[in-house]
Amino acid sequence: MKRMNRRGSVADIRKLIDMIRSYHEHPTLRTTFIVGFPQESETEFSDLIQFVQDIKWDRMGAFTYSPEENTPAFSFSGAIVPQVKEARLAQLMKLQEQISLTKQQEMVGKVIEVLVEGQDGLSGIYRGRSQSSAPDEVDGLVFFRSSRFIPLGSFVQVVVKEALPHDLKGEEVVSARV
């Protein structure tokens, strides 16, 4: 982390996450990692894998390092070959997909609030996002069925029926109207 000019330590991050989780029952924790930074060792990458396994991020992205002019790392020695960077990225993302699916499966049967962002023609299938999802295709979506027309921008209650690694599927909860 020092070579990447990052402040703090893994211990500091763990302490912060523990504090957040002690104050909030279900916070959404997200992060992004770079793999294949110059001189990244197998041990350092293994430490990253263990860290992700321990924290179990709700949302995680990752990408491979690429040198950019006018940055300190541009001239660093010890470049990681592209095949190794891609293999590390694939391993990390496969782990996160498993973690994500497990977390998503915990949502099955729960009712969540969804911001409606689109509709699939006249099929009665809508898509939106929950409070734990970032906009602009950063995170997965909630797809749900409704028997009524719902204006975009509305908030609805959805019971989750199925979990995928990044998306949820469900049905709108329609309350009795008086």
Q: Tokens at residue 156, please?
A: 């609805």
Per-residue pLDDT averaged across 127-145, rounded? 88
C-alpha distances in Å from residue 64, one per residue of 37, 78, 98, 128, 146: 8, 15, 20, 30, 41
81, with CB counted inside 10 A (0-12, 13-18, 19+), is exposed
pLDDT at 67 over 90: no
Per-residue pLDDT averaged across 112-117, rounded? 96
Q: Name which residue leads in pLDDT, 71 or 29.
A: 29
Choose the weakest-confidence range: 32-36, 47-51, 104-108, 138-142: 138-142
Instruction: Provide the pLDDT for residue 178.
Output: 42
Band of residue 2 on the pLDDT scale cut at 50, 70, 90 = low
Instruction: Provide the pLDDT for residue 5.
Output: 57
Per-residue pLDDT averaged across 34-61, rounded? 95
Band of residue 3 on the pLDDT scale cut at 50, 70, 90 = low
- Cross-strand pairs, 126: 119, 144
Band of residue 9 on the pLDDT scale cut at 50, 70, 90 = confident
Q: Name which residue leads in pLDDT, 122 or 152.
A: 152
Choose the weakest-confidence range: 39-48, 62-71, 77-86, 157-166: 62-71
Exposure string for 44-54, b = 16+ CB within 10 A, e = fewer? ebeebeeebee
